[in-house]
Amino acid sequence: MKKVFTAAALIFAVACSDSNGGSSGTSGTPADGAGTVAFTVYGEDYIEKEIPAEDVEDGYTIKFTRFLIAVHEVSVAEEGREPAAKMSESKIFDMHKPGDRPVITFKDLPGKPYTHVSFRIGPPTAASVPSEGATEADKALMTAEGFSVYAEGTVSKDAATKSFKWGFKTNTLYDRCEGEIAGKKTEGVVVTNGGTDTVQITIHGDHLFYDDLQSPDAKVRVGNVFAADANGDGEITLDELAAVKLTAIPTGQGTYGTGSAAGINDLRAFHEALTRTIGHFRGEGECFASAK
């Protein structure tokens, strides 16, 4: 939960059948030595419950009440080859709802390593399916506005609380994912004879409040967001974030480093760029993230 993507591709120059009765995909021909890959998605306690004050650099508590994403094109392939399996539908999830949710299951894949795994978080289409925990109203919001990520909730400290409702239209490919299997860093997935490799796409909600786009020392920080409520109505809007220039943030209140990214000059653009860092693989594992 505390790692940040460091791949240069992060910045935008900067990134079969379904056992759950919904998504379809393509897969390899069933054969001796075949197995299964099952993808799930999970938002961790930080999204499901809260980001407690002790985990936030300036002592605020962050609580999400809704955290919608649209997942597309989950894919597994051998290096240099076309995908052996690829999800043909897209699904909308509310990561605030508890539990690890199924995304897609690919069956009867020939047993071998598939080192090239990718998925995309991007705006949904009219054909996108609200998955377990999401509603038709969630789909209507995401499709009407073209949001790939939508987060709402509150930030609070002492007796003061403010709300936010932020929708972002970023389209991000998470490519060449790797994570740990039994303590060993592993590229992609491993299919074994008769076995199932269960792979979690992990969504890191704390990244939406990081104070640096690339540094491994980025901190979760809220104070500058909280102070952006210029009209004092208790809601922090994206327009209010856009009015806060990064160069105006006082020394000691976060680095707000943008690395090699161009055109990120205010808090709105900064937090929009942070949406490209929320997707992880098998918990703390990482992918190369790039704009699509």
Residue 187 has pLDDT above 80, yes or no: yes
**Which two tokens mark 12?**
């935008």
Region of poorest pLDDT, from 30-39, 85-94, 258-267 = 30-39
- pTM for the model stands at 0.89
Given this model, what pLDDT does residue 215 score? Answer: 92
* CB distance 153 to 163 below 8 Å: yes
Burial 18-55 (b: 16+ CB within 10 A, else e): beeeebebebbeeeeebbbbbbbbbbbebbbebbeeeb
> Quick one: pLDDT band at residue 184, thresholds 50, 70, 90?
very high
Q: What is the pLDDT of residues 33-54, one digit of tens each?
A: 899 999 999 999 999 999 999 9
Q: What is the pLDDT of residue 255?
A: 93
| pLDDT mean over 155-167 | 98
Per the prediction, the chain carries an average pLDDT of 90
Q: How confident is the model at residue 90 (pLDDT cuts 50, 70, 90)?
A: very high
